[in-house]
Amino acid sequence: MKTLALAAVGGLSLTLLVATSSVADDDNHNGYKRPKRLALPSDAPLLWKEECAACHMLYVPALLPAEAWRQQMQTLEQHYGSNASLDAQQAREILDFLLRSSAANRLPVEPSATAGEPPRISQTRWFAHKHDEVSAATFQRAAVGSRANCVACHHGAERGDFDEDRVKIPR
Ligand code: HEC
Ligand code: HEC
C-alpha cells in the first residue's frame, strides 16, 4: 500500500511538472512520447554502476524503454562485439533495477540499424530529434568519439543531466 501511495504521489507531481512546463513538448505526438525524468534514481545498485561502466560511460535507465533493456540484458554475451556477460544473479539484479527505473520511458523499442545488435540509445528517433543541430562531423571529433559518448558533451550525463544550458562540445 505504501509503495502504491508513493507511486501515486510521484505520478501526480510528474503530471504537474509536465503541465506547468513552458517548453513545448513536440516529441509528444503520435504516441511518440519523450522519456521523462532522466535523472539517475538514488537507489541505483553499486553492481550496476561498476559492471555497466566498465567499458563505457554509465547510461541512465530512463534513456531506453524497459523492453530494450530486457533485450540488452538477454544478449550480454554478444554485446556490440564485446562479451559483457554476468552470472545469472547479477544480471537479474541489474535487470530489475533497469526495468523499474525506465518505467517513465514510453518510447517504442527501435532496433539497431546493425543487424544482430541490441537497441541503441544513439539510434533512436528521440536522439536524432534532440541533436538535429549537431553534425555527424561533430560527433566524430576525436575528443567526442561517438554519438554514444554522451558524457563528452553533457558532463552530468551519468547523473542523467542533459540540460542544454550545460552542454559543452569539446574542440
Ligand atoms: C566488456 C565491455 C562492456 C561492458 C562490461 C558493457 N558494455 Fe555496453 N557496450 C560496449 C561496447 C563495445 C558498446 C558499443 C560502443 C559503440 O559502438 O560506441 C556498448 C554499447 C552499449 C549501449 C549502446 C550505446 C548506444 O549507442 O546508444 C548500451 C545501452 C550499453 N552498452 C549498455 C550496457 C549495460 C547496461 C551494461 C551492463 C550490464 C554494459 N553495457 C556493459 C561494451 C561493454
Ligand atoms: C557532440 C556532443 C554531444 C554528444 C556526444 C551528445 N549530445 Fe546531447 N546534445 C548536444 C547538444 C549540442 C545539444 C543541444 C542541441 C540543440 O539545441 O539542438 C544536446 C541536447 C540533448 C538533449 C536535450 C536537452 C534539453 O535540454 O532539451 C538530450 C536529452 C541529450 N542531448 C541527450 C544525449 C544523450 C542521451 C547522449 C548520448 C547517448 C548525447 N546527448 C550525446 C550535444 C551532444
- Polymer length in residues for the chain: 171
- Is residue 66 situated within a structural domain? yes
Q: Which stretch of 27-41, 50-64, 123-137 has the lowest confidence by average pLDDT?
A: 27-41
- Is residue 24 situated within a structural domain? no
Q: Report the nearest atom of ligand 1 relative to the CA of 48.
A: 37
Residue 127 CA to ligand 1 center (angstroms) comes to 17
Residue 64 lies in domain: 45-166
- Is residue 4 situated within a structural domain? no
Q: How many structural domains does the chain have?
A: 1
Q: What is the predicted pLDDT for the residue at 35?
A: 72
Q: What is the predicted pLDDT for the residue at 5?
A: 44
- Is residue 12 situated within a structural domain? no
Nearest one of 19, 92, 99 to 66, comparing CA atoms: 99
Confidence class of residue 111 from pLDDT cuts 50, 70 and 90? very high
Q: What is the predicted pLDDT for the residue at 21?
A: 37
Q: What is the predicted pLDDT for the residue at 123?
A: 94
Q: What is the predicted pLDDT for the residue at 54?
A: 98
Pocket mutation for ligand 2, best pick of 167, 168, 169, 171 (most atoms within 8 Å of C-beta): 167
- Is residue 124 situated within a structural domain? yes
- Is residue 116 situated within a structural domain? yes
pLDDT in tens, 56-109: 999 999 999 999 999 999 999 999 999 999 999 999 999 999 999 999 899 999
- Is residue 89 situated within a structural domain? yes
Confidence class of residue 34 from pLDDT cuts 50, 70 and 90? low
- Is residue 31 situated within a structural domain? no
Residues 6+ apart with CB under 8 A from 94: 45, 47, 48, 51, 52, 73, 86
Cα dihedral 150, 153, 159, 161, rounded to 10, equals -110
Mean pLDDT estimate for the chain = 86
- SS3 assignment, position 142: coil
| 165 in contact with ligand 2, CB cutoff 6 A | no
Going by the DSSP 8-state scheme, the letter that residue 119 receives in this structure is P
Does the pTM surpass 0.85? The reply is: yes
Residue 80 CA to ligand 1 center (angstroms) comes to 7
Q: What is the predicted pLDDT for the residue at 25?
A: 41
